Amino acid sequence: MPDKSNDAHIVQRFDRELEGVRSNVLAMGGIVEQQLSDALQAMADCDADLAERTATNDYKVNRMEVQIDESCTRILALRQPTASDLRLVLSVAKIIADLERIGDEAERIALFVTRIARANCNRRHYTELLHMGTLVKDMLHNALDAFARMDARQAVEVARMDEKVDAEYEAHMRQTMTYMMEDPRNIPPFLDSVWCARSLERIGDRSRNLCEYVIYLVKGKDVRHTTLAQMEEVAR
């Protein structure tokens, strides 16, 4: 007779492996969140030292991506998951790739802030950029929360925030161009501001990607390259 107790043990061990992967993704997300938060705090305070420390911490994100990716590869090779378990592994592989890129963008922001701070930046020039940064930080946090809760509807609401981020990005670009035309001496520091804004806009896009993966994970439907209305329909 088949050993049912052994089968149950194997299933339990597999469940623990999947839960471990989910937990590691959230831990990686927490590191990326802190990295972005520190970069924005460095910008707010014109703190070159904090910005430099933030930039040099990116190795932690890269290391976690490799570890989680190896876990996913091992699960696919040894467990041959099906249905929802397979969706989880595939989604995690995509999520950690986007988290790693968000970490790269946070590192870029920190490097720009290092240069801005050491050039005696005028904090008034970065007020709007910091507001955009707060939106993006909230978007990333809520996207990770939607993954933790497996909440497709919350994922749609987070994806909707990307429209606000894009609008703030365009407004910041217009205002920055005006400043540079008014006084060419402003061009070097404001170019750094432009690149910071571009990185924040990309983080918003990556956070929306996380939401798409959550919807795929929960509903089994690929909603990439679809409208918000279509995403909402799938998430119901």
Cβ-contact 205, 166 below 8 angstroms: no
Describe the crossing of helices 127-149 and 187-219 by its angle, rounded to 10 degrees.
20
- How confident is the model at residue 7, as a pLDDT? 58
Predicted structure pTM score: 0.92
pLDDT band at 233 (very low <50, low <70, confident <90, very high): very high
| pLDDT for residue 125 is more than 80 | no
pLDDT in tens, 86-121: 999 999 999 999 999 999 999 999 999 888 887 766
Q: Which residues, 6+ apart, have CB-to-CB distance to 204 below 8 Å?
A: 135, 136, 139, 161, 162, 165, 166, 169
Share above pLDDT 90 across residues of the chain, in percent, rounded to a whole number:
72
pLDDT in tens, 45-77: 989 999 999 999 899 999 999 999 999 999 999
Tokens of 185: 């001496």
Q: How many domains, the chain?
A: 1
Mean pLDDT of 141-167: 97
- How confident is the model at residue 63, as a pLDDT? 96
Helix (H/G/I), strand (E/B), else coil: 110: helix
| pLDDT for residue 11 is more than 90 | no
| pLDDT for residue 9 is more than 70 | no
Cβ-contact 87, 145 below 8 angstroms: no
Tokens of 125: 């020039």
Between 221 and 178, residue with greater pLDDT: 221
Whole-number Å distance between alpha carbons of 231 and 21: 26
Give the structural domain span for 214.
Answer: 4-235
| pLDDT for residue 127 is more than 90 | no
Q: Name the one residue in this structure whose structure tokens are 């804004």.
A: 197
| pLDDT for residue 193 is more than 90 | no
| pLDDT for residue 4 is more than 60 | no
What distances in angstroms separate CA 157 from CA 37, 91, 141, 191, 208, one per listed residue?
22, 19, 12, 32, 10
- How confident is the model at residue 146, as a pLDDT? 98
Whole-number Å distance between alpha carbons of 152 and 157: 9
User: What CATH number does residue 14 fall under?
Assistant: 1.20.58.220
- How confident is the model at residue 124, as a pLDDT? 65
Between 29 and 129, residue with greater pLDDT: 29
Whole-number Å distance between alpha carbons of 35 and 139: 15
Quote the mean pLDDT of the chain.
91
